[in-house]
Amino acid sequence: MRSHSLILREACQRLGRPGAVGAALLLVALGWSLFGLWPASREVQQLEARAAAARERVTRVASGAEAAPLRPGQQLASLQQNLPAQQEATAAIERIYATATREGIALARGEYALALDPQTRLARYQMLLPVHGSYPQLRSFLAAVRRELPALVLEDIDLQRKQISESQLDGRIRMALYLTR
């Protein structure tokens, strides 16, 4: 071990000050390429891959194999076409209660409020529902409701357990159902 350090010292003394400066510059260049250029080259590769994917998508859209992306005004119109009508709110609520029964959850009658947005011509039906069930039941209920009603948004969930040893939870779920007018 000691002989290696002696050999290194003798080599440094033979190089002198210009050699030490050159070695330091080599170390700086190596560090810059390792920590500066290499990550940048990886980023360039990722950007080139994204550009190639974008060119491929443009050719698919031009050939008609893929639909063109929607502009912002078209996005709102497409959303409104896929939402249920305001008259279907009662049927949607019945589906929520049927899903709760199917999942074994006690869903008490809740509070309902309808808000109309004149700018977007959407109706927002907000529901606050008291729930009682186990955690797995509540999770499967929420997943099933989201599958059945894509226009339903989970806004808030508040769950409580009376005692730590109990498996049943009591709580409230606040959801909003978006409807067209």
Length of the chain measured in residues: 181
Mean pLDDT for all residues in the chain: 84
50 compared with 26, residue with greater pLDDT: 50
What does the alpha-carbon distance between residue 130 and residue 136 come to, in Å, rounded to a whole number? Answer: 17
Of 77-81, 89-93, 100-104, give the range with the top mean pLDDT.
Answer: 100-104
* Range from 25-29, 103-107, 116-120, 165-169 carrying the lowest mean pLDDT: 116-120
Orientation angle between helical segments 89-103 and 135-148, nearest 10 degrees: 150
Element (H, E) at 94: helix 89-103
Q: Where are the domains of the chain?
A: 1-69, 77-180
Q: Which CATH class is domain 77-180?
A: alpha beta
**pLDDT the model gives residue 155:** 92
Transcribe 143-167 into DSSP letters: HHHHHH-TTEEEEEEEEE-SSTT--
Chain centroid to Cα 15, Å, comes to: 58
**pLDDT the model gives residue 89:** 81
Render pLDDT for 143-172 as a digit per residue (tens, 0 to 9): 999 888 888 889 999 999 888 888 888 889
**pLDDT the model gives residue 15:** 76
**pLDDT the model gives residue 140:** 92
Render pLDDT for 60-85 as a digit per residue (tens, 0 to 9): 888 888 877 777 767 666 767 777 77
What does the alpha-carbon distance between residue 149 and residue 129 come to, in Å, rounded to a whole number? Answer: 16
How deeply is 174 buried, as exposed, middle or buried, from its count of CB atoms within 10 A (0-12, 13-18, 19+)? middle
pLDDT band at 46 (very low <50, low <70, confident <90, very high): very high
- pTM, two decimal places: 0.57
